[in-house]
């Protein structure tokens, strides 16, 4: 008897280990490692992943239960992924099931999937199902359940079981179109034709036509048109055996437009050198990590493209990761225009079905390149030759929920598995990566000039305090107003960037000063004009704007802050003739609207593009000659040790949008703290000096990259309980970690109350701490066995992106 080890879909201690199940004989040849199955667990039937197959078990035979259903024809996870999950589980202190689930598209992630029945004997199966398929190609699930059959889904059986499979596939979100396959047998067609009575004129006519198209697979609509007949006639002819329905899998197309093919550019010397280094590593199967540090517009993408070309020529596959926010059509089109149909794209803008189809293209090896956001790092290629992380410094590469993995770490793990190089690209590398490059852990490749030798844009800093002194209370400095005006005259384009982090519009009572706050969190509510409501961005709580103050009863309620809508209003007042496009969360809710806005702007349908972080990256339009940053300060004063780094990165990125073609660019940065080094260095795009300066700060405060950090957070509905267990946590860590680690806390978290829970945290700083993972695993065990019952939530985040 064969035994399967199954990781079941239950995130509870002590379930985090494989369970043994016997494999029913009928499934023995079909089940492979990496397949999803349904298994009895307690009194339920739940989803699981087969992670190993063996011949023996320690479970007594009378306790051993069989797998109930096999959910996949082909394994959804490769052996590599199963191995990776084991590594990730330990590195991120997560449940293995969460790691496995993170690797597959959401369409396959359903916790409970009603599956079709199974039957052991193919002949019987066909017999049993015959009645259902006589009149219809769709069979209700109920029927399958009633008959309690098992469907052997195997590649070779496809033809035979097309219609049956169809039922199964719909569950898996596969889209198919129904076509008619005309019999290949000329004699049979002739015979059917001859046997028809002369009164069946239409049918005879159709058969004549079919004889000329024997063996063809055609859409029914086309047959009606060609033979000037109706579905009834076709059905009648099909009943006689002249044709049958077949299903053709189709991929939903997430791309609105075809793209024109582009050719390779002749590389500059700098580009050539960088490419060569990567190609060498590829050819010698070296799992090297390159840090490609190139100023904005230096042609990093062209290097990616040519490296991928080489990778494909070697018969291998490439994975390109791009931050979600910059997965613009412009970016993806650059890959599609070079590699056409060989590219799959994965991002959150796609529907569940589209995402699944793009994933299937990778899974079925129909493509050679995947371009996607963080989770695309799990693309199930089996012969990876190159992995690229563009904008490697982006915090979105770190997943905030369990499993709290960083795509960079996973990429490097996979590069070792496949013996292939990784490229980390950025104009503003994270301090961690740059420090590693300095130590030669990563190989540094530098592009110091823009690809076409365009000068970097001229950057000016405007001190908004001076504007106030001059009596200008608007959000626009004189300089910026002039700048926009002259662009309007010259018919050039302007991009205005509102650094909105921590800058949302809030509502305040002018009499008592009360700010409307979320019921569940210590956060002020954000005002949304489009539906006149207040919303909490952390927990989703919503309420209408109050007409009287809940504290004092006054009706002097006022909106504050500078949301994009407010900026837009002021902008249209200043420049009534200007055509303004706004791009923020509100205007890009609808699918494809992001795309549409950029397209309009690229086509010159607007003079000014106003937006948030969303526009900071990837925009590459030749007619943009002015970039304005309305307030550089907002991200500078966040209570996060990376706030200067983030500000520097953001300002450098936005500035890089100006003057990318022949026309020179200008950047105006408005700020209340012009003297800050992050702003000063961003002005000159001076990465190295910024790095040196920031490293000094990090050194002084024992922060990364000098130390690693881990964050242990405890929350509870009751403040005192939360504090009590946070203390227990800290004590536990102090008695188990060595002196190499310093433990700070417990302290309250940045936002103390979130979703009605009080939060405390301990921060751990360490260089080398062999006890770290074992201690965390042990702490997790205590939590999962004892504390969880008391309503505590404990999370451990190693290398958190935000603290």
Residue with smaller CB distance to ligand ADP, 334 or 698: 334
Tell me: is residue 33 an annotated ligand-binding position.
no
Tokens linked to 586 = 């509100």
Strand partners, 671: 463
Residue 108 backbone dihedrals phi, psi, to 5 degrees: -100, 0
Among 97, 411, 451, 598, which residue sits at the site for ligand ADP (rule: CB under 6 A)? 451
Instruction: Name the CA radius of gyration of the chain, rounded.
Output: 31
520 binds, among Zn ion, ligand ADP, none (CB under 5 to 8 A by kind): Zn ion
Strand partners, 669: 461, 629
Supply the minimum distance, in Å, between the C-beta of residue 507 and Zn ion: 11
514 binds, among Zn ion, ligand ADP, none (CB under 5 to 8 A by kind): Zn ion
Supply the minimum distance, in Å, between the C-beta of residue 294 and ligand ADP: 5
Tokens linked to 285 = 């199967």
Q: Is 536 in the site for Zn ion (CB under 5 A)?
A: yes
521 binds, among ligand ADP, Zn ion, none (CB under 5 to 8 A by kind): Zn ion
Supply the minimum distance, in Å, between the C-beta of residue 308 and ligand ADP: 13
Tell me: is residue 512 an annotated ligand-binding position.
yes
Tell me: is residue 420 an annotated ligand-binding position.
no
Tell me: is residue 762 an annotated ligand-binding position.
no
Among 96, 302, 394, 568, which residue sits at the site for ligand ADP (rule: CB under 6 A)? 302
Tell me: is residue 549 an annotated ligand-binding position.
yes
* Residues 379 and 320 sit within 8 Å (Cβ to Cβ): no
* Residues 144 and 168 sit within 8 Å (Cβ to Cβ): no
Whole-angstrom distance, CA of residue 281 vs CA of residue 292? 14
Q: Is 690 in the site for Zn ion (CB under 5 A)?
A: no
541 binds, among Zn ion, ligand ADP, none (CB under 5 to 8 A by kind): Zn ion
Among 299, 457, 483, 563, which residue sits at the site for ligand ADP (rule: CB under 6 A)? 299
Q: Which string of x and - marks every residue 186-215 that binds ligand ADP (by CB under 6 A)?
A: ------------------------------
Taking CB under 5 A as the binding criterion, the range among 176-184, 541-549, 625-633, 780-788 that sits at the site for Zn ion is 541-549
Could you say which residues in the range 229-248 bind ligand ADP, by CB under 6 A?
Answer: none
121 binds, among ligand ADP, Zn ion, none (CB under 5 to 8 A by kind): none
Supply the minimum distance, in Å, between the C-beta of residue 560 and Zn ion: 14
Tell me: is residue 35 an annotated ligand-binding position.
no
302 binds, among Zn ion, ligand ADP, none (CB under 5 to 8 A by kind): ligand ADP
Supply the minimum distance, in Å, between the C-beta of residue 553 and Zn ion: 7
Q: Is 554 in the site for Zn ion (CB under 5 A)?
A: yes
Taking CB under 6 A as the binding criterion, the range among 299-307, 348-356, 377-385, 432-440 that sits at the site for ligand ADP is 299-307
Cβ-Cβ contacts under 8 Å for 165 (sequence gap 6 or more)? 151, 153, 158, 247
**182-192 core/surface letters (b: 16 or more CB in 10 A; e: else):** bbeeeeebeeb
Tokens linked to 725 = 């267990």
Residue with smaller CB distance to ligand ADP, 265 or 512: 265
Q: Which string of x and - marks every residue 258-297 that binds ligand ADP (by CB under 6 A)?
A: -------xxxx--x----------------------x-xx
Taking CB under 5 A as the binding criterion, the range among 10-18, 168-176, 370-378, 513-521 that sits at the site for Zn ion is 513-521
Give the N- to C-terminal CA distance of the chain in Å, as an integer: 52
Listed as own residue / partner, the contacts of 564-568 with beta carbons closer than 8 Å and 24 or more positions apart are: 564/498, 564/500, 564/610, 564/611, 564/612, 565/529, 566/475, 566/505, 567/475, 567/496, 567/498, 567/610, 567/630, 568/610
Among 69, 163, 301, 306, which residue sits at the site for ligand ADP (rule: CB under 6 A)? 301
* Residues 625 and 665 sit within 8 Å (Cβ to Cβ): yes
Residue 792 has, within 13 A of its CA and on its CB side, a CA count of 27
Supply the minimum distance, in Å, between the C-beta of residue 729 and Zn ion: 25
**288-301 core/surface letters (b: 16 or more CB in 10 A; e: else):** bbbbbbbbbbbbbb
Taking CB under 5 A as the binding criterion, the range among 504-512, 615-623, 718-726, 790-798 that sits at the site for Zn ion is 504-512
How many chain residues bind ligand ADP (CB under 6 A)?
17
Tokens linked to 204 = 């005879």
643 binds, among Zn ion, ligand ADP, none (CB under 5 to 8 A by kind): none
Whole-angstrom distance, CA of residue 776 vs CA of residue 317? 36
Residue with smaller CB distance to Zn ion, 756 or 778: 756
Strands 493-497 and 624-629: parallel
Strands 542-544 and 533-535: antiparallel
Taking CB under 5 A as the binding criterion, the range among 88-96, 472-480, 533-541, 722-730 that sits at the site for Zn ion is 533-541
Supply the minimum distance, in Å, between the C-beta of residue 268 and ligand ADP: 5
Q: Which string of x and - marks every residue 645-664 that binds ligand ADP (by CB under 6 A)?
A: ---------------x----
Residue 377 backbone dihedrals phi, psi, to 5 degrees: -65, -15
Residue 795 backbone dihedrals phi, psi, to 5 degrees: -125, 145
Whole-angstrom distance, CA of residue 798 vs CA of residue 260? 44
Residue with smaller CB distance to Zn ion, 12 or 548: 548
Tokens linked to 280 = 């060498």
Supply the minimum distance, in Å, between the C-beta of residue 372 and ligand ADP: 17
Taking CB under 5 A as the binding criterion, the range among 553-561, 678-686, 726-734, 771-779 that sits at the site for Zn ion is 553-561
Whole-angstrom distance, CA of residue 495 vs CA of residue 604? 13
Q: With CA atoms as reference, report the closest residue to 413 among 439, 440, 378.
A: 378
Q: Is 594 in the site for ligand ADP (CB under 6 A)?
A: no
Q: With CA atoms as reference, report the closest residue to 296 among 734, 650, 577.
A: 650
Q: Is 300 in the site for ligand ADP (CB under 6 A)?
A: yes
Whole-angstrom distance, CA of residue 140 vs CA of residue 149? 14
Supply the minimum distance, in Å, between the C-beta of residue 621 and ligand ADP: 10
Count of residues making up the chain:
803
Whole-angstrom distance, CA of residue 262 vs CA of residue 339? 9
Q: Is 541 in the site for Zn ion (CB under 5 A)?
A: yes
Binding residues for ligand ADP (CB under 6 A): 265-268, 271, 294, 296-302, 451-452, 620, 660
> Which residues are documented as binding site?
509, 512, 518, 521, 536, 539, 549, 552
> Which residues are documented as binding site for Zn(2+)?
509, 512, 518, 521, 536, 539, 549, 552
């Amino acid at each position: 008897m064969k035994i399967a080890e199954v990781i079941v879909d239950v995130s509870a201690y002590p379930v985090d280990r494989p369970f043994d199940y016997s494999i029913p004989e009928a499934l023995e040849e079909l089940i492979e490692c990496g397949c999803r199955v349904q298994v009895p667990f307690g009194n339920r039937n739940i989803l699981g992943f087969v992670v190993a197959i063996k011949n023996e078990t320690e479970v007594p035979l009378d306790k051993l239960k069989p797998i109930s259903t096999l959910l996949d024809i082909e394994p959804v996870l490769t052996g590599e992924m199963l191995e990776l999950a084991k590594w990730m589980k330990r590195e991120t202190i997560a449940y293995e099931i969460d790691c496995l689930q993170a690797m597959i598209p959401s369409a396959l992630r359903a916790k409970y999937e009603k599956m079709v029945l199974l039957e052991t004997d193919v002949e019987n199966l066909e017999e049993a199902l015959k009645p259902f398929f006589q009149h219809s190609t769709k069979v209700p699930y109920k029927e399958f359940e009633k008959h309690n059959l098992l469907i052997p889904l195997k590649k070779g059986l496809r033809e035979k079981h097309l219609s049956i499979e169809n039922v199964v596939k719909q569950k898996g979100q596969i889209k198919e179109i129904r076509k008619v396959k005309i019999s290949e047998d000329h004699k049979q067609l002739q015979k059917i034709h001859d046997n028809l009575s002369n009164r069946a004129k239409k049918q005879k006519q159709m058969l004549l036509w079919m004889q000329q198209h024997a063996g063809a697979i055609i859409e029914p609509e086309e047959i009606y048109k060609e033979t000037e007949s109706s579905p009834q006639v076709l059905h009648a002819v099909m009943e006689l055996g002249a044709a049958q329905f077949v299903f053709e899998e189709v991929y939903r197309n997430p791309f609105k437009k075809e793209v024109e093919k582009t050719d390779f550019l002749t590389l500059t010397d700098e580009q050539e050198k960088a490419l060569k280094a990567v190609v060498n590593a590829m050819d010698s199967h070296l799992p090297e990590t390159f840090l490609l540090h190139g100023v904005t517009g230096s042609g990093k993408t062209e290097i990616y493209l040519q490296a991928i070309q080489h990778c494909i020529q070697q018969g291998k596959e490439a994975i390109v990761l791009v931050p979600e926010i910059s997965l613009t059509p412009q970016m993806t089109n650059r890959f599609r225009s070079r590699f056409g149909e060989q590219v799959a794209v994965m991002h959150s803008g796609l529907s569940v079905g589209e995402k699944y189809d793009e994933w299937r293209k990778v899974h079925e090896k129909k493509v050679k390149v995947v371009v996607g956001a963080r989770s695309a790092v799990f693309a199930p290629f089996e012969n990876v030759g190159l992995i690229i992380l563009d904008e490697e410094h982006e915090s979105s590469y770190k997943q905030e929920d369990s499993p709290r993995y960083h795509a960079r770490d996973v990429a490097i793990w996979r590069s070792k598995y496949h013996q292939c190089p990784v490229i980390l690209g950025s104009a503003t590398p994270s301090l961690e990566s740059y420090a590693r490059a300095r130590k030669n852990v990563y190989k540094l490749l530098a592009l110091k000039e823009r690809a076409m030798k365009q000068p970097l844009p001229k950057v000016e800093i405007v001190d908004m305090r001076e504007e106030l002194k001059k009596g200008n209370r608007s959000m626009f400095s004189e300089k910026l107003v002039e700048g926009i005006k002259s662009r309007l005259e010259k018919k050039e384009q302007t991009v205005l960037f509102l650094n909105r982090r921590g800058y949302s519009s809030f509502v305040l009572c002018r009499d008592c000063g009360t700010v409307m706050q979320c019921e569940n969190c210590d956060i002020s509510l954000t005002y949304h004009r489009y539906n006149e409501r207040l919303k909490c961005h952390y927990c989703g709580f919503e309420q209408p704007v109050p007409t009287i103050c809940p504290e004092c009863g006054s009706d002097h309620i006022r909106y504050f802050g500078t949301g994009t809508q407010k900026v837009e209003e002021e902008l249209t007042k200043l420049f009534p003739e200007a055509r303004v496009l706004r791009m923020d969360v509100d205007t890009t809710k609808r699918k494809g609207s992001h795309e549409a806005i950029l397209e309009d702007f690229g086509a010159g349908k607007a003079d000014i593009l106003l937006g948030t972080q969303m526009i900071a990256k990837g925009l590459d339009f030749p007619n943009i000659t002015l970039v304005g940053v309305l307030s550089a300060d907002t991200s500078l004063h966040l209570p996060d040790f990376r706030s200067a780094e983030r500000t520097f990165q953001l300002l450098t990125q936005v500035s890089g949008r100006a003057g990318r073609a022949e026309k020179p660019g200008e950047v105006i940065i408005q700020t209340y703290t012009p003297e800050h080094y992050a702003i000063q260095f961003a002005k000159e795009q001076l990465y190295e000096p910024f790095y040196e300066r920031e490293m000094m700060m990090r050194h002084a405060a024992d922060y990364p990259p000098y130390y690693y950090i881990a964050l242990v957070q405890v929350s509870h509905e009751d403040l005192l309980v939360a504090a009590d267990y946070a203390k227990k946590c800290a004590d536990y860590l102090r008695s188990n970690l060595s002196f190499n680690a310093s433990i700070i806390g417990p302290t309250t978290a940045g936002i103390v109350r979130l979703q009605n829970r009080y939060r405390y945290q301990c921060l751990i700083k360490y260089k080398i701490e062999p006890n770290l993972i074992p201690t965390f695993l042990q702490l997790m065990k205590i939590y999962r066995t004892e504390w969880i019952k008391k309503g505590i939530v404990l999370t451990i985040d190693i290398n958190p992106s935000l603290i």
